[in-house]
Each structure stands twice: as C-alpha cells, then as structure tokens.
C-alpha cells in the first residue's frame, strides 16, 4: 500500500465547512487504497493575526517566543481536521511537528529541516489511521519549538514524502496548479501542465506563492514529484519534476513581488558591502538582488524583502548607526521576473523586457539576471502593469510551448 | 532568593493592554527580589471558542484531539506575555506544559498531575529569567499532550509552587479574593480574609469559580498557602491555608451552579445504580450528588454537571439504550450550597435553609449534606433567588464571624 502525502494551505482549512471538504478528499484518498499523511497550515489568516498580536505586545519580539506563538495555529487546524475525519468514521490522529519527528536547526522563525524521524507516523499508518501533521513547525535538537518561515508547510510535506518514501506529494491550494502568471493580475495566464524543479524554484523565489521555493529545492534533492492542485476539486494540476532539457529561451512564466526595500551604499567598498549584507543576514533580511555600479559615482544596492524579517525597525536602527549618510533606504520597491531555462542565452528576452518598461514609462531601478531569470526592480505601484505587459510580450506569443501534455 | 508562583486567568490576559498590565505586575514582583514563575490561562474565551469549533466539526470529538486543540490557547498567551516582558527589558522565556515537566496520567481532557520535573524552569530561574508556563496542560507518560479540565491552570500553579518550594502561590483573577457569595448575585457578599483548605474546596466544588477545587486539594496536601487577588491591583485578598479548628456552625459562604442534569432511576437496585455511575464516569460525567429514596416507590438520582462532559449526546444515547424507560433525565437543574465547618452539627442551618425555600415557594428536588456542606437541588431558573435569601439568612446575621483579620 503506497503512502500519499497531501498538504492543505490556510485557505483550504479556513473554516469548519472547508475543513469538512478536506476531510472528504482525505477519506476518498484513503478509500482508494492509500496510506494518507495530511499536512495542514493554520486556518486562514491565523498566522498573520498572531504575528500582529505579537507586534502589538512587543516592538521586537524574541524569535523563540514568536515560534511558540505561531506554532499554535497549526495545532488548531490539525486537531479540527482529525476530529472531522473521526466524525466521518475515518480513524485519524494528529501530531505536532515535534511528535512527527521533524528535527530542525535552531534558526528560530526560519528554521531548516535537518532530519525527519517519522516513527510515530509510520506506527499509526500501520494501524490504518490517517495521520494529520502540523505544517510549518519542528523541534530543534535543543528541544525548542521552531517554525520554518513563510510557506514552510510545503517543506514539511515534501520532507515527509521523502522520509516516508511516498508515491506522491500533493499540494492543495485555492488555485488548480501553477500558472504562467498570477491569474488575478493576468486573466490570460495559463496553467502549466508540467514544470521543472529549477523553473518552479525560480518562479517561487520571484514571488509565485503557489509553491514554496525551499520545498521545491528539497523535492529536487530527493527526487519527489509534486502535484499542485486545487482543494476545491476544480480540475487541473501541475506536476513539478525532473525533465529533460528543453529548447532554451522558452519563458514559462512571470512572477512578481512587492514589499521590497532597496538599500543603497553610496560609497561602497568590499568591506562595507560585506558588513551591510552580514547585518541584514543576521536579522533575517536576506538580500534578493545585488546591484553594483562602478565608475565615477559608484553605488551598491541590495534589495531585501521585509516579509521574513521579524524586526525591521531594529535592523534599520543598526544600519543607521553603522553607515549613517552613506546608506540610502528606498521603500515601496517591487520586482517583476520572467522565468525560463536559458532565458538569457542571447539577450532577446531582456531586450523585449526593457522595451516593455520604456513603452509603459516605468523607471527601472535595477536589473538582475541569471541563466533562468530576468528580474526588473520597479516602483511597487507599477508592478501589476509590468507583469501584464511582460506576460503578453514574452509568454503569450508562444501558446504551444506551454500546452498541456497530460 | 525566594520563588513566587503567580497565576493569571483568562480575563487577566484577554487583550494586549491587559497582558501589558500583567507584565508590569510580574516585573514589579521580580524587582522586589523574587524569582518569578508565571502560569497563564488562554486569552479570554479562547478555550470556549475552540471547544465550540470542535463541536461544529464533530459531534463527538476524540478527547486526545480535544487536548491538542485546547492546549493551543495557552501557547498564545504565554508567548505574548513573554514578549511583553522582554519588551520591558525583563528577560523571560515561555514553556509549554511538557517543557515545564508537568507529567500527567493519560485521562485526556481531565488529566491529573502525577509528577512535576521542573528542571528547565529551575535552570532559567537561575539565569535570572522570568519563566512563563502554559497553564491547564501537561504531557502524559505516553508523550501525549493532555489538559487538566476546567480551572486546571490553578492546579498547574499550585503543583509548580510545591515542586519549586515556592514562598507563595498567588492566583490573580478579576475579583480581589474569595467572597461569601458571588458578588454579582449578592451585592452584600463580603470578602473572606482567610479560609481553610477544606472550606475553600467545598465552596469551589459547589460552584465558586475563583479557585479550582482540585488545585486547593493539591495545596492542602503539600501545605502551600494560596493568595487570591485581583489582577487589576484592586486591594484585598484571601489567604487559603491551614487554620486551627473554629467554632462549629459558622457559615463561610454560599455557592451555586447551574447546568446540572438529574438522572433518576425509577426502579433502582445496587447493580443498576452502579452501572449508571460507571457509565457516567466513563464519559467524564462525575456524579455530584447522589440521592436515594427507599420505601414503596424507590428512586435513586444522581446530579451530574455537563461542564466537563466532552460528549453528552453519546452518553445520553448509551444510557437510553441500557436503561430505557427506567431512567428519567431532567435538565435545567441547579444546586445552591452553604459551606461551613460543622454546618450540619445539629440541623439548625438545614432548617433555616428549608424554611427559606418554602418562603420563596421553590420546589426542592433534592438535598445533600456533609459535615461541611448543605446542598439544595432546585430549578436552575430559581438559583439566583435562593442564593440571595440563603446568604441573607445564614451568612449576613453574623458579620463579626467572617471579619478581616489581616
């Protein structure tokens, strides 16, 4: 009998009715002859609400205490789902991250899974039970509760799928698969029937929310195929797995994010730049893009996302003290990225992207490229426009390239 | 340096502002030279809200899963209080029941503490930190999360005070001490400056909510003095400790509860009665009062409180099946109890109580007495009237007997 790991995000368990629908899907998966492990996120916006409470109580809450607080959310949803399954006559048991054997490092708020010891899960599966696991959390070797950062429940699911040698890892959200752009921004966006790990990882790092980048990296390392589906039962899915190399230059999608801050050193040298990056890193503000301009008026800029930064006000004060006038801080920055293997072989796509910005009269704050990605830093308020036009210029002209093969 | 254990109930940590006030009191206690351990309940009505969610998801939620769910509430309040203390510059760390070493039996939803291994708490106190402990929860020897039943946070506090050899166990709620009746029902109720363990236990068992009966029993066994105070800082307190015997017949207070169900066997025999009590016990419905009438038309009744019963509908169905027409179920029953050492020496007080009911034209559904207590079972709707008149008849005539000695 094969093991299937299913993960349901916050919107899929947002209320009692949706929890019942999830229970129905889980029951059907078990009835089809599978051993089922279900990973759940906290209900709806619970995590954000708890975070807001924390910041009302303390300007700079300790990360260890944040983990204690935030990990309460998944306990609630896992216990309710387990009850809903039991009420349907499906024997189920819920486990915290710690009880599931999710061992992490001790980087509170943004921990990494270092080992999975799923013995209790395996025992309960052998007894015919569905096992519900709290996503997003684990326990450090110091026996402290840790959380895995935004989207961490996806990582929990993939790590369990690997440890349990599962046949499939299914990630359920409110959209049926991965699209070439956020359908709320781009109505013409189309579902990708399949995508490679690397492309998915780049899309996720560039702001696509449907799958977590770290989870995809984990899946790539272990060779776990991920199926992204809608918890509503809406048909359609995207498979993320290893593919043979494709024709270079196909753009699979456009992703974006806002809420970035651009930190610019006006008199940069290697030492100062290293100090800036180290200070950011120590406070969880990992640089997303690094831009350097030499010559007469040298500048070095790093774009950081405030999303995973537990204490921006403290970091800002530290930077102020250390760099003074040498550092400029620009808020309200966004990034729009086009993703595709070999997108920068020849600069055709980059040229199209720059033409698009010019036609929109959008100021370019920076460009970063890799072999998989072109990222444009722009004013956050213009991100929607840029996404739509870039999707139309780079993705839509070649509808056959992304057509379904399933 | 002495250890002080403080416990704050749900209304004392109901919102961010009140959590800050608690942080202020805790900080003051530490500044006065104490090592401080703080036990917290879930914020406001969190536990009831979670319970309501559970019953919307499943008619009969498994008790193990209920414990998983309900224990999330204290995690939230403990982490927020710890953050609030850290924000004031007071080093603090929060621990779950399990991390605090609260070991219980495996009676989910209503577990008993069997051992306390407070090693991590002691380590952190030695480092100068305030330790915040999640009340109401522990871990069974099977490594499952358990909860201690209504009012369980009081028990956590007393058990920790005993294990840490604390100088004081302070229980903070929204009233400043223990009163001779619920002041919301009886404006003339007065604060008791001191009360014996046994009297307090009887008051709590009879429905006084300010202290938990099991916690008082625990304190009595270990000789821990309990100080009941208001978290608002309102002056006044009640000390619960061992006292030399008093003049018998002093009535210390009147307590009441509603939400009882009276189960009556119309053709009782010892076997059937034992079966009834065993069935109730197995579902957490512990009989509060047992009434037996022999003679021509024998009846045996047991009053049970539905408060700690996780699944009354299932119990009712079981009883129906087992006893059929032999069992009558009466809902909406209340109990009013007068408490005092030696209250039944001579039946003066019982006579006054019966006269009071007659004057109020309240039907008496049953009477139970012990050497500390007279309990009258009446229609729940009349409980307020009976409390007021019984307080006036038995407690108010002797104001000097209960006068403050502090």
Taking alpha carbons only, the member of A215, A210, A213, A209 closest to residue A199 is A213
Q: Which residues of B touch A72 (CB under 8 A)?
A: 72-73, 75-76, 79
Indicate whether B406 pLDDT > 60.
Answer: no
A325-353 pLDDT, tens digit each: 999 999 999 999 999 887 877 778 888 88
Does B400 score more than 80 pLDDT? no
What does the pLDDT read at residue A399? 46
Tell me if A16 and B56 make a contact (CB, 8 A cut-off): yes
Q: Scanning every residue of chain A, which has its alpha carbon at the shortest distance from the alpha carbon of B47?
A: A76
First-last CA distance in chain B? 25
Starting from the edge strand earliest in sequence, which strands make up the sheet with B145-147, in order?
Answer: B113-116, B102-104, B137-140, B145-147
Q: Which pLDDT band holds residue B401 (cuts at 50, 70, 90)?
A: very low
Are B56 and A16 spatial neighbours (Cβ–Cβ below 8 Å)? yes
Q: Is the pLDDT of residue B221 over 90?
A: no
Per-residue confidence (pLDDT) for residue B37, from 0 to 100: 98
Confidence band of B398 (pLDDT split at 50, 70, 90): low
Q: Position of tokens 């935004």?
A: A150
CA-nearest residue of chain B to A82?
Answer: B65
Flag the least confident range among A200-209, B94-103, B117-126, B282-291: B282-291
Closest chain A C-alpha to B387 CA, distance in angstroms? 39
CA distance B260 to B256: 11
Q: Tell me which residues of chain A have a pLDDT lower than 50.
A: 399-406
Does any CB of chain B come closer than 8 Å to the CB of residue A82? yes
CA atoms within 13 A on the CB side of A205: 21
Work out the average pLDDT over B122-133.
97
Q: What is the pLDDT of residues A308-331, one digit of tens each?
A: 777 788 899 999 999 999 999 999
**DSSP conformation letters of A244-309:** PPPPTT---EEEEEEEEEEEEESS--HHHHHHHHHHHHHTT--EEEEEEE-SSS-EEEEEEESTT-
In chain B, which residue's Cα lies nearest the Cα of A70? B76
Higher pLDDT, B398 or A389: A389
Model pLDDT, residue A242: 85
CA nearest A133 in B: which residue? B68
C-alpha to C-alpha distance for A39 and A153, rounded to whole angstroms:
7
The pLDDT of residue B294 is: 62
Cα distances from B61 to residues A93, A369, B69, in angstroms, run 11, 53, 10
CA distance B46 to chain A (A): 11
**ipTM, 2 dp:** 0.72
How do residues B132-178 score in pLDDT, each as one tens digit? Answer: 999 999 999 999 999 998 889 999 999 999 999 998 899 999 899 99
Exposure letters A362-380 (e unless 16+ CB within 10 A, then b) = beebbebbeebbbbbbbbb
Structure token digits, residue A104: 């992490």
pLDDT reading at B247 higher than 80 = no
Residue A40 vs residue B214, higher pLDDT? A40
B82–A59: do the CB atoms touch at under 8 Å? no
Please say if the pLDDT value at position B379 is more than 70: yes
Would you state the pLDDT for residue B404? 41
Residue B392, chain A, CB below 8 Å: the answer is no
Q: pLDDT-based confidence at B391, cuts 50/70/90? A: very high
Q: Which residue has the higher pLDDT, B1 or B242?
A: B242
Cβ contact A82–B68 (<8 Å): yes
Predicted local confidence at residue A102, as pLDDT? 97
Helix (H) or strand (E) run with residue B37 in it:
strand B35-40
Structural domains of chain B, with CATH: 3-173 (3.40.1160.10), 253-397 (3.30.2130.10)
Q: What's the rounded mean pLDDT across residues B344-359?
A: 84
Does position B380 have pLDDT exceeding 50, yes or no? yes
């Amino acid at each position: 009998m094969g093991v299937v790991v299913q993960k349901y995000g916050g919107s899929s368990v947002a209320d009692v009715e949706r929890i019942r629908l999830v229970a129905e899907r889980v029951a059907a998966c078990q009835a089809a002859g599978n051993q089922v492990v279900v990973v759940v996120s906290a209900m709806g916006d619970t995590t954000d609400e708890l975070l807001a409470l924390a910041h009302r109580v303390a300007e700079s809450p300790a990360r260890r205490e944040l983990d204690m607080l935030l990990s309460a959310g998944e306990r609630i949803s896992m216990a309710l789902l387990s009850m809903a399954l039991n009420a349907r006559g499906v024997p189920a048991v819920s486990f915290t991250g710690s009880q599931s054997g999710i061992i992490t490092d001790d980087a509170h708020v943004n921990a990494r899974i270092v080992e999975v010891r799923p013995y209790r899960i395996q025992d309960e599966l052998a007894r015919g039970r569905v096992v519900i696991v709290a996503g997003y959390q684990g326990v450090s070797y110091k026996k402290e509760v840790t959380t895995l950062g935004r989207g961490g429940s996806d990582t929990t699911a993939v790590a369990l799928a690997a440890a349990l040698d599962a046949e499939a890892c299914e990630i359920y959200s409110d959209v049926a698969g991965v699209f070439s752009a956020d359908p709320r921004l781009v109505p013409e966006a189309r579902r990708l029937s399949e995508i490679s790990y690397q492309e998915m990882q780049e899309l996720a790092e560039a702001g696509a929310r449907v799958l977590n980048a770290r989870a995809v990296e984990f899946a790539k390392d272990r060779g776990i195929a991920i199926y992204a589906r809608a918890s509503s039962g809406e048909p359609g899915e995207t498979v993320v797995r290893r593919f043979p190399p494709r024709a270079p230059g196909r753009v699979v999608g456009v992703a974006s994010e806002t809420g970035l801050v651009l930190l610019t050193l006006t008199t940069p040298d290697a030492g100062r730049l290293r100090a800036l990056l180290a200070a950011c890193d120590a406070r969880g503000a990992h640089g997303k893009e690094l831009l350097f301009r030499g010559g007469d008026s040298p500048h070095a800029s790093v774009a950081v996302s405030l999303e995973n930064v537990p204490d921006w006000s403290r970091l800002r004060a530290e930077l102020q003290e250390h760099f003074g006038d040498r550092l400029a801080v620009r808020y309200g920055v966004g990034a729009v990225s086009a993703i595709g293997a070999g997108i920068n072989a020849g600069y055709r796509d980059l040229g199209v992207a720059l033409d698009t910005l010019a036609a929109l009269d959008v100021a370019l704050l920076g460009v970063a490229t890799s072999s998989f990605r072109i990222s444009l830093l722009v004013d956050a308020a213009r991100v929607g426009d840029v996404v739509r036009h870039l999707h139309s210029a780079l993705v839509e002209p070649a509808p056959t390239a992304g057509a379904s093969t399933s």
